[in-house]
Structure 1
């Protein structure tokens, strides 16, 4: 099913404990990420009221936390790189649409990284807005 991802509704209780719902594809990604990435801290569903285009309230996005600002700690940067690399390597079979990490955004459509500008909503110069403290993963 590489590249063909029919729409899904959020029908499964978010396994990350947010109290919200995620899609079956997101739930499967969470399970796989926990198994393959040594159970990293993550949060998926969120109302994200400040961002009407976010995939979080649709149950199609997760933030995987790396334990600090990757710009300040090489081990934190390495952890985020491992998460991002695994996510990219498995995107074709897990339904990852894009990810944001360390000031860049990767798209499954193009298979390339580009600078991340915050989309007019986030400040890409700070740790959270620039995704230096977590890897954002959006799924189809």
Structure 2
């Protein structure tokens, strides 16, 4: 049996190593295919379905609130009708008591005396008929009060039952809505993590600056940040990025955008202020991955170097002090 030379043995070992590597790579590839990472398209499809479910829950929530308010209005109307009927009841009851006292004190003759001729029969019958008519009229009004009272009691019971039922439904919808919103937030975070800032990152964590391009005159890095914020937070009052004014900032370099929360320098609403807070928090959370250099919002500045907020000097206006928009600059 021939013995292989050292060179042949070395070559054989190399081939075996290569084959083993190929087998390992194939196994890893198969494992990767078994559990692939979801694509942006898949995650956005899942996000749209969750958003639709969240919108449906919110609609059900407000429908239940409106039904509860309608039940409250019905009970209030019944309570007001009862108050009016109570006045009638009190007045008619007083008249009945007054009539009874008058008859007792006046010694209204009994029927035997009435027909013995001691008094004028026609006058007596007329007074009896009038008295009976008054009593019947007052009794009818009292029966009307009883009907209104019963209706009010029924409305009150129905309103209470409806309020309890709706209260349970609203609480359940609120829990489901919060759960859906949390899931939406998680999916949006997963989508964000699929994106990384284009360009070269230095060892110290900073990024090599980019040149602006395209019709917007902003850098690819700034464009990515702008797109992600627009998709996630809507920003209904517009986004301003490139401008020619040389103010020492990044706007003329295409490396900054303002995400507006109001028009014409007006102070934004509480909801828009919260939107600005959420944009700023998001930018801080994703700053390292997306190459965000600093954020200015509500007369404060956050810089990637320090990782903290610092109060800025007063520049004399709502917009100048960034109360109506967060400003984001990238490297």
Query: TM-score normalized by structure 2?
Result: 0.36
Query: Do 1:12 and 1:27's aligned partners in 2 also have CA atoms closer than 8 Å?
Result: no
1:61 to 244, 256, 262: 256
For 1:11 and 1:138, the matched residues in 2 are separated by: 16
Query: Between Structure 1 and Structure 2, which shows a larger proportion of helix residues?
Result: 2
* Superposition pairs of residues 31-110 of structure 1, within 5 angstroms: 31-40=227-236, 41-49=238-246, 51=247, 53-67=248-262, 68-70=266-268, 73-110=269-306
Distance 2:234 2:300 in 1: 24
1:38 CA displacement: 2.5
Corresponding residue to 1:128 among 292, 313, 319 = 319
CA contact (8 A) 1:100 1:116 kept: no
- Matches of 2:206 and 2:309, distance apart in 1: 21
Aligned-pair CA distance for 1:28:
1.2
List alignment gaps of at least 5 residues for structure 2. Answer: 1-200
**SS of residue matched to 2:286:** helix
Q: Does residue 7 of the first structure (1) align with residue 203 of the second (2)?
A: no
Residues 61-111 of structure 1: CA deviation (Å, up to 9, x unaligned): 0000012424xx322211111111111111111111001001100001110
In structure 1, the residue corresponding to 2:302 is in which secondary structure? strand
Q: Distance in 2 between matches of 1:11 and 1:114?
A: 32
Q: TM-score, normalised by structure 1?
A: 0.81
Query: Counterpart of 1:12 in 2: which secondary structure?
Result: coil
Runs of 4+ in 1 over 6 A off after TM superposition: none
Tell me by how many angstroms 1:39 deviates: 4.8
RCO greater where, 1 or 2, for CA within 8 Å and sep 6 or more?
Answer: 1
Structure 1 gap segments, 5+ residues each: 15-20
Question: Retained in 2: the 8 A contact 1:48–1:54?
Answer: no
CA contact (8 A) 2:233 2:275 kept: no
Quote the offset at 1:47 in angstroms.
0.9
**Equivalent pairs, count:** 125
Q: Which has the higher strand share?
A: 1
| Larger Rg over CA atoms | 2
